[in-house]
């Protein structure tokens, strides 16, 4: 009996273990399959963003189409801090995440009473405010040309220094560490009573309300948590490129996050990461072979919605393979 | 100063008229079918470019008449082939689908007509200013405002007095009952979608005359249209109209005093409305949920 339980445990966790083996070794075989280290980092960064969005979308059942705003605030937060205030990666990331989270807390309070399609519409519209601020405030943000003239700095960790500035593999593992910690936090949150409450709200909001759950407060918290992790992903994205521009917080970026989550499978924890990997690699490949990559990406949206609405993992699960 | 303010208010009114025209189409589709048509801006651009290509054959007036209908026809086909399958499902899917369509439409317009902006010729007698003191009052601008007013009046007439309009209004309130009374709901939603796209196409032709042609012409107009719907009130077409004009004028006035905030101001307005009156100025209670 005990042995059976152990075997079951192993069988259930094989996919997760495999996933981590892939993530941990990615920089070493990326070149062999025609990629590059930066592409691997991008997969991890967008994977984090899509999983953070899915915290709200898949587990709370609320569709936000404006998460790029908080992604972008994180990106600009770290860039502006390093450029104008302190040349420190850690401080910059802290500023980025805190400002993204604060913005989400403010806007979240305005919109938690909306539902469904209206919630989506308002999040899209609010996302544009930050886009216009970044776009228009030339003297500080660099406007349409983006924010350059700064670089990620080596991380000083008391006993040693992590040279993430020049070693892109080191930066990959730094990003992966951030990703792992975030994923762990989100997994623990989802397993906690708070997380179960979110799922209860997703499944039947009215019943949850009758049970005495403060639905608005839970939605707000879920929104803020989700945005906090998205802004962390945004800081990593800016650090990866040593650059950020208003496109990081435009509505098409929000749409990309949503399609990543749906493409991978939004009912599963790791699905969005898979979706992000597929999307990032596909976009990288398509934009290198054709100028009309927008049509291809658009076609991906259409095909996913019409034929794979449950995503890759949903498809595999439906056949009992996972 | 007064002239400057008047100029910007008038400018805002014109821009607001575009927002309203876009937002009315979006609202029609949203109210009856629960679909946010993200591709609305793409249809607008398509209308503009179709008019541009038609003009050598049918002239300015012919293009103005035909292009919106052609756009609407394309809209009918797309609704029939794709969007129809998503009614009643999670709004997530229709949003993603129309989002992808927006990408495709923009790319296709760029592929066919090129990425650089093209001039859109309008009859000379329409471009002349009507008075020397108010130089901004060109005939074309006045003509545009009049045409938008006419289109809106026609839309409300259709909704109020024709059988189709009555069915659309009834369907907005209770689609199941309308279906049970023997109305073919599929056809109704199809035609309603076409009507919304017609308005987008018309807005496109008019915008082309003022702003010139660019593949991204629609994307810059769609976000404010969302704001117009929310400010005006969900589920209320007159509200949408007022919302569009209001944010247009607000954005125009801001241009006088603080130009770099002229885009952001409408989102601030939206935030205020959501804070003080979440259902919007003319919204019905209970629509939010």
- Mean pLDDT check: name the lowest of A293-297, B61-65, B281-285: B281-285
Contact across the interface for B267 and A128, Cβ inside 8 Å:
yes
Question: Average pLDDT, whole number, for chain B?
Answer: 87
Which of B22, B36, B79, B107 to mutate to test binding with chain A, by most A CBs within 10 Å of its CB? B107
Please check whether residue A169 touches B, CB under 8 A. Answer: no
- Count of A–B CB contacts within 8 Å? 123
- Element (DSSP H or E) covering residue A157: strand A155-157
* B196, B28 contact by CB (below 8 A): yes
B169: closest CA of chain A, how far (Å): 20
Q: With CA atoms as reference, report the closest residue to A221 among A178, A251, A190, A265.
A: A190
Contact across the interface for A300 and B100, Cβ inside 8 Å:
yes
pLDDT at A93: 94
Please name every residue paired with A157 in a beta bridge, in sequence order, or none if there are none.
Answer: A160
Q: With CA atoms as reference, report the closest residue to A249 among A145, A117, A134, A103.
A: A134
pLDDT at B71: 95
Quick one: pLDDT band at residue A155, thresholds 50, 70, 90? confident
Q: Where are the domains of chain A?
A: 14-318
B126: closest CA of chain A, how far (Å): 33
Contacts of B100 in chain A (CB under 8 A): 259, 297-302, 305
pLDDT at residue B207 is higher than 60: yes
Q: Where are the domains of chain B?
A: 18-217
Read off φ and ψ for residue A34, nearest 5 degrees. 95, 10
* B212, B119 contact by CB (below 8 A): yes
Q: Could you please state the CATH topology (level 3) that the domain comprising A14-318 is classified under.
A: ABC transporter involved in vitamin B12 uptake, BtuC (1.10.3470)
pLDDT at B133: 65
For residue B233, give the 3-state DSSP assignment.
Answer: coil
Please tell me which residue of chain B has the smallest CA distance to A118. Answer: B288
Q: Is ipTM beyond 0.95?
A: no
**Can you give the pTM of this predicted structure?**
0.89
More confidently predicted of B280 and A45: A45
Please tell me which residue of chain B has the smallest CA distance to A62. Answer: B92
Cα-based distances in Å from B96 to A92, B41, B192: 33, 15, 20
- What's the whole-number mean pLDDT along residues B118-134? 75
Q: How far apart are CA A193 and CA A281, in angstroms?
A: 36
pLDDT at A321: 42
Sort B167 into a burial class: Cβ within 10 Å, 0-12 / 13-18 / 19+: buried
Residue A85: DSSP 8-state: I
Please check whether residue A111 touches B, CB under 8 A. Answer: yes
Q: With CA atoms as reference, report the closest residue to A229 among A96, A114, A133.
A: A96
């Amino acid at each position: 009996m005990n042995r059976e339980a152990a075997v079951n445990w192993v069988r259930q966790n094989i996919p997760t273990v495999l996933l981590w083996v892939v993530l941990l070794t990615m920089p070493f075989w990326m070149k062999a399959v025609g990629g590059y280290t930066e592409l691997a980092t991008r997969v991890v960064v967008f994977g984090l963003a899509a999983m953070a969005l899915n915290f709200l979308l898949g587990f709370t059942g609320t569709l936000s189409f404006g998460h790029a705003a908080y992604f972008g605030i994180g990106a600009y937060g770290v860039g502006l801090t390093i450029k104008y205030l302190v040349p420190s990666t850690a401080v910059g990331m802290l500023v980025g995440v805190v400002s993204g989270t604060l913005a989400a807390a403010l806007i979240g309070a305005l919109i938690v009473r909306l539902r469904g399609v209206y919630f989506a519409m308002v999040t899209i519209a609010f996302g544009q405010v930050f886009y216009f601020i970044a776009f228009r405030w030339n003297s500080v943000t660099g406007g349409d040309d983006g924010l350059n003239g700064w670089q990620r700095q080596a991380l000083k960790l008391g006993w040693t220094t992590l040279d993430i500035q020049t070693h892109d593999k080191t930066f990959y593992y730094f990003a992966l560490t951030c990703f792992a910690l975030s994923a762990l936090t989100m997994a623990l949150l989802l397993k906690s009573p708070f997380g179960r409450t979110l799922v209860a709200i997703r499944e039947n909001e009215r019943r949850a309300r009758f049970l005495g759950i403060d639905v608005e407060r839970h939605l707000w918290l879920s929104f803020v948590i989700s945005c906090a992790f998205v802004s962390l992903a945004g800081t990593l994205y800016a650090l990866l490129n040593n650059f950020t521009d208003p496109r990081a917080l435009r509505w098409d970026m929000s749409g990309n996050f949503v399609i990543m989550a749906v493409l991978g499978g939004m009912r599963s924890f790791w699905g969005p990461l898979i979706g992000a990997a597929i999307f990032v690699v596909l976009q990288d490949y398509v934009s290198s072979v054709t100028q009309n990559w927008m049509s291809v990406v658009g076609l991906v949206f259409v095909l996913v919605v019409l034929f794979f609405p449950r995503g890759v993992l949903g498809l595999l699960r439906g056949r009992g393979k996972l | 100063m007064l002239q400057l303010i008047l100029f910007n208010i008038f400018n805002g009114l014109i821009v607001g008229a575009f927002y309203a025209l876009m937002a009315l189409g979006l609202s029609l589709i949203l109210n009856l079918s629960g679909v946010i048509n993200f591709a609305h801006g793409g249809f607008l651009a398509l209308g503009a470019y179709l008019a541009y290509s038609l003009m050598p054959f049918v002239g300015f007036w012919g293009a103005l008449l035909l292009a919106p209908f052609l756009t609407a026809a394309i809209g009918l086909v797309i609704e029939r082939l794709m969007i129809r399958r998503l009614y009643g499902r999670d709004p997530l899917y229709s949003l993603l689908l129309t989002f992808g369509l927006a990408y495709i439409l923009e790319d296709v317009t760029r592929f066919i007509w090129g990425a650089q902006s093209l001039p859109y010729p309008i009859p000379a007698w329409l471009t002349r200013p009507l008075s020397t003191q108010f130089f901004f009052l060109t005939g074309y601008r006045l003509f545009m405002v009049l045409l938008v007013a006419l289109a809106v009046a026609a839309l409300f007439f259709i909704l109020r007095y024709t059988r189709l309009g009555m069915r659309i209004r009834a369907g907005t309130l209770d689609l199941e009952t309308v279906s049970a009374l023997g109305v073919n709901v599929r056809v109704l939603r199809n035609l309603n979608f076409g009507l919304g796209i017609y308005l987008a196409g018309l807005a496109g032709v008019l915008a082309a005359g003022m702003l010139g042609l660019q593949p991204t012409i629609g994307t810059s107009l769609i976000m404010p249209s969302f704001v117009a719907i929310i400010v005006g009130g969900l589920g209320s077409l007159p509200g949408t109209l007022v919302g569009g004009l209001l944010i247009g004028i607000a954005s125009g006035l801001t241009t006088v005093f603080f130009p770099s905030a002229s885009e952001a101001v409408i989102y601030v307005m939206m935030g205020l409305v959501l804070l003080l009156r979440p259902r919007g100025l003319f919204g019905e209670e209970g629509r939010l949920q």
